[in-house]
Amino acid sequence: MVEAKNWSIIMQDIVNILYEDSLVAKGLKEGLIVNIGDGCNTRFWEDRWTWDLAFRRDFFDWELEIHSTFINLINSHFPSRGFRDHICWCFESFGLFSMKGLCKWIEDKVNEGEQWALPSQVRKIVPPKVRLLFWQGCYNKIACKQNLLSRGVSLEDNGLCSLCSQAPETADHLFLHCLLSWSMWSDIVKREGVAWVPPNSLVDLAKQWDFLCVNSDPILWKLIPYSLVWFLWVRKNDLVFKDKAFNREKVWDMHVMQIKWWVKAKWKDCPYNTEQFNANFCNIRMKMTAVSVRTTTWQPPTLGTLKFNVDGAS
């Protein structure tokens, strides 16, 4: 909670975002609308209205009734002295702003025209920072050595892989083609009894992934690439920045454990323990209703305070 006396600094930062050329700015401008009440805070000629009724052609007979229904609908709301003009958030059914709604709008925009789409189950279970890393990996936007070199950073080893020192460190190499990484993907696919040719890139892997699931639960299967890529990145950074040895077994155990924790966060009564996730992954079945259960509800802040909702998932 933030005291109201600091609100102007915070609000200024928020308002500044609106002037940026970013998806956040576009989402805020599109999502925030004014619900007209008594009109006191509305500048009729200057404010931007959300509809424009200039149609480009005459209607066909069969469209006249639809047009009439539409006009009746938008004319059903009259300015009222009963309540003041107020701002609504049109990406949520109750009109209340939420970062979740804004993030979903941005994700949908980012994924428009993409060659693969983020599965909705993944969005519900995997934290945004992990999804972001995976997306950055697919499009080679991570700070791997080859990208650092292209930004002018000088590296003594000419950007060789931090794990194997055998090939240039690109996102695709680090997450997929490096022998250490590849051996883990191979073990996972072997568990399904599938013969697999290494995909050319992480984005190709993302596109193929669902088709490789034979024995495992389809939802658990979708979580694997996110968990594995995340821990390959975390342990690679531990090696580079903390001089901690890269241990394949540790990465394997952590990626399985992470999937278990993501599942347990959504499915409180999950009967499976870590050992079962490790030894029996293919036989674990997710309860489909589990992923949509909400355990907390949002409460509005008291008067005079600002409230920030933070996603504390890791």
d(CA 145, CA 165): 11
161 belongs to the binding site for Zn ion (CB under 5 A)? yes
C-beta of 132: minimal distance to Zn ion in Å? 23
Among 102, 125, 126, 178, indicate the residue that binds Zn ion (CB under 5 A).
Answer: 178
176 belongs to the binding site for Zn ion (CB under 5 A)? no
- Which range binds Zn ion by CB under 5 A, 52-60, 71-79, 150-158, 176-184? 176-184
163 belongs to the binding site for Zn ion (CB under 5 A)? yes
- Which range binds Zn ion by CB under 5 A, 84-92, 113-121, 153-161, 196-204? 153-161
- Which range binds Zn ion by CB under 5 A, 43-51, 126-134, 177-185, 283-291? 177-185
C-beta of 299: minimal distance to Zn ion in Å? 49
144 belongs to the binding site for Zn ion (CB under 5 A)? no
Choose between 161 and 224: whose C-beta lies nearer to Zn ion.
161
Among 32, 148, 164, 234, indicate the residue that binds Zn ion (CB under 5 A).
Answer: 164
Choose between 118 and 178: whose C-beta lies nearer to Zn ion.
178
- Which range binds Zn ion by CB under 5 A, 33-41, 46-54, 155-163, 245-253? 155-163
C-beta of 173: minimal distance to Zn ion in Å? 6
> Please, is 104 exposed, middle or buried when counting C-beta atoms within 10 Å of its C-beta (0-12, 13-18, 19+)?
middle
Choose between 205 and 286: whose C-beta lies nearer to Zn ion.
205
Q: What is the binding site for Zn ion (CB under 5 A)?
A: 161, 163-164, 178
